[in-house]
Structure 1
Amino acid sequence: MPERDGALPPEFWSRPTMAGALATCDMAAIVEGIRVARGWSQGDLALTVGYSQSWVSRVVNRQQSLTIEQVRDLTGRLGIPVHLLRFASPAVPGKGADPTRRRDFGKVMAAAALPLPAAPPGGDLDDTTAPALRAITGGQRRLDASSPARDLAQGAVAHVDLTARTLERARHTPLAPDIAGAAAEAAGFAAWLHADMGDHGSARAHYGTAVRRAREAGDRLLNVYMLGSLASFETDADDPALGLALAGEAGRRLGPSPHPTAAAWLACVRAMAHAELGGSVAAVAELRFAEQQVGLVDNTDPPWPWVFPFDHAKVAGCRALVAVRRHRPGEARAAFAVALAGARPGAKQGALLMAELAAAHADAGDVDEAFLLAAEALRTGRRLGSERVVARVRRFRRAYRGPGARCISELDEELASGLVT
């Protein structure tokens, strides 16, 4: 007999069909089972849950995906026992549950378990919020390749503020971890821009925010990435001892058996810090470890936030920089050739590499080529407003102790011209 009113009997939820739907969080089957058990039409069901009849029809016919808020509504309005909802993928020999679906289910469970206040915190947020925030950061990153950092910084800082306010609204909801992750990425990008502008104080502040937000997100790899990025920044900002300490902490948080991309990247961060400190043996050992990691067969499908695998070309780029610090021009130029044989870097990154390659040529006695590269890097840095690139060229010039030449005087004039206001 249909049960139009009151609670459904406990045995209803243990019936094989319903138990299976609960076990897989099959909301379409659960909703339809309740409708039939109640003796409701789809119109009756629509009135009960507060949605249109066409929406209900799409749900039970599996044509409508549900947001977290909608699952929350349905479990509350239909009396679905949240504690019985479980998740298990259909049994597939030799395979476990899909981790992506498991994560999504965890969010649904957390949302469904919350009470249904009239105006829930962050009620206007949903599972599309964090991806939307990430998309804004992604668009800004793409512009960074060819735009002055100063043109992007104001918008990036505004976006950091937006993600912070959104996170506050999402506190105590299951959306908070994903939004915290998006906030970490926004802060990390703002830090990168300020470092490019030579504003190290603001860069450190934003990197600190990025590390804290990554910790709030509960994402171990994101936390490692932000710590490693801060380590790389400190090494580049002439505090390699701090950079090495931060990279060491990131390595401890990375844990055993990490993904090869993460392990290789972090090894290269440590290698650069060792090289700046004069630790040639340690730097070479880190590079050797990085090469071993990128050569592993499972160095594919890099984990977020790494977008591409850390491959041999990227390790070669780090090897070239280490060789420059060790004043080994032959090794540096050979490594640069390997690094540049892959995907071409963006304009800013390319200018940084040019300044480093200039140092390798200068060490080899190829002065004209060295200063030609340095001058080209300087022009690119000025055009894109990158103080990071300009500072790298200045460092190259200060380190040069060789004989004079016309190309040197020309670079000095270009450097001096930038000081005239």
Structure 2
Amino acid sequence: MAATPVLDTLPDPADTTTGQAAALRLSTTAYRRLDGTTPSRDLSDTVESHLRLIQSLTRNATDDAERRRLAAVGSEAASLAGWLAWDRGDDGSARSWYGSAIKAAGSAGDPLLAAYQLGTLAQFEADNGNATEALNLTRRARRSLGAQRPAVADAWLSSVEALAHAAGGDRRSADRALTASRAAAETLPAEVPPWPWVFRFDPVKVAACRVTCGARLGLPEWVLGDGTEALATGHAKQRALLVIDIAAGHLAGGRIEVAFALAGRALEAGLQYRSGRIVERVRAVRRSLTSSAPPRVVRDLDERLHGVYL
């Protein structure tokens, strides 16, 4: 069961990583895959132990080329540790791990990996409402790549820029970035994405990003469409986050009953996977409704949230 997803994401044949670095990278990829079906709290200790092993091997490496390869693998593992901390709701640790991932990518001397880690931190900052910091990070990522960046990097970074603009309340700039991201995504080949991307980036991901931007901007017309529900195709935690965005769109459109029914569905996933990020996003939707006499569906959600500590 564990081998199948790992073998599906073997490093690109052009990647010359061998020996210890290759074995450690496969383990990191396996953990990234497990994140979709495993609570982050259950994975965190294992991933951090894995990262300490990589760091120890990197320090003790005598060959410069091997040290750079191990630094690249360490960057990927640190980024995963950051992602798991983000999901737990531990933003301070997430930011620290992402910073370590960027630093390790620099030690590896790989501009593509550095850009990936900068973009990932930008995504985190946008999610937390830090629009200026997120935009600065995406600009750094583009400078790291220069003009010879792969199409998937261009498509993905444009989507991150859209999230940053939405966090800053800039609808026009968010729309432009989404248009650029969709145009680039439509040109991508339908094959395994290049390292360090593990999951494919395609127009469906751009459409989901538009829903998230619409939720941040309070634009029901961006969130609610005929195919919106069908966008929730990722793993359970990703689906829950998208459902929260859809709930926010319904709430912005005045459909309170539907909004909080969806928020309740997302909360179930958040509790099942012990995801602090999902639970806090549900709480944010609840805070956005101010009413002295909320309907029953809202009171039910309040009762379910009471006593939840994640």
TM-score where L is the length of structure 2: 0.89
* Contact 1:293–1:299 (8 Å) recurs in 2: no
The 4+ residue runs of structure 1 with deviation greater than 4 A are 297-301
Whether contact under 8 Å (1:313, 1:341) holds in the other structure is no
Decide which of 259, 265, 280 is 1:370's aligned counterpart: 259
Once residues 144 and 193 of structure 1 are traced to their aligned partners in structure 2, the CA distance between those partners, rounded to angstroms, is 8
Structure with the bigger RCO (C-alpha within 8 Å, sep 6+) is 2
Amino acid across the alignment from 2:108: A
- Distance across 2 between alignment mates of 1:159 and 1:300: 29
Deviation at 1:197, TM superposition (A): 1.2
Cα shift at 1:401: 3.8
1:262 matched to 2:153? The reply is: yes
Structure 1: which 5+ runs fail to align? 1-98, 108-126
- 1:311-358 alpha-carbon deviations (Å, 9 max, x no partner): 1100001111111222221321228x25x5368211111111111111
- The CA distance in 2 between the partners of 1:272 and 1:399, in whole Å, is 19
Q: Which has the larger radius of gyration?
A: 1
Aligned pairs, number: 298
Q: For 1:198 and 1:294, locate their aligned partners in 2 and report how far apart those are by CA, in whole Å.
A: 30
Query: Shift of residue 134 of structure 1?
Result: 1.1
Deviation at 1:286, TM superposition (A): 0.5
Q: Deviations over 1:372-403 (max 9, x none)?
A: 11011112111211000001101111112467
Shift of 1:200: 1.5
Distance 1:259 1:343, change over 3 A: farther
Map of 1:162 onto structure 2: 53
Counterpart of 1:390 in structure 2 is 279
**2:248 & 2:231 partners in 1: Cα distance?**
21
Provide the C-alpha distance between the structure 2 equivalents of 1:234 and 1:341, rounded to a whole number of angstroms: 27
**Cα deviation 1:12-49 (Å, max 9, x = unaligned):** xxxxxxxxxxxxxxxxxxxxxxxxxxxxxxxxxxxxxx
Runs (5+) with no aligned partner, structure 2:
1-11
In structure 1, C-alpha distance between the alignment counterparts of 2:232 and 2:283, rounded to whole Å? 27
Task: Confirm or deny that 1:295 pairs with 2:177.
Answer: no
Q: Percent identity?
A: 38
Q: Aligned-residue CA RMSD in angstroms?
A: 2.2
**Structure 1 segment 18-417 matched on structure 2, within 5 A:** 104=16, 127-296=18-187, 302-334=193-225, 337=227, 341=230, 344-401=233-290, 404-417=294-307
Aligned amino acid, residue 148 of structure 1: P
Contact kept? 1:227, 1:250, Cα under 8 Å: yes
1:418 corresponds in structure 2 to 308
For 2:42 and 2:109, how far apart are their aligned partners in 1? 32
CA distance in 2: counterparts of 1:173 and 1:247, whole angstroms:
29
Length-normalised TM-score, structure 1:
0.67
Helix, strand or coil for the counterpart of 1:304? coil
Paired residue secondary structure (2:224): helix
Q: 1:185-229: CA deviations, max 9, x gaps?
A: 110000111111111221111111111111112221111110111
Distance of 2:232 and 2:88 partners within structure 1: 25
Letter in structure 1 aligned against 2:294? G
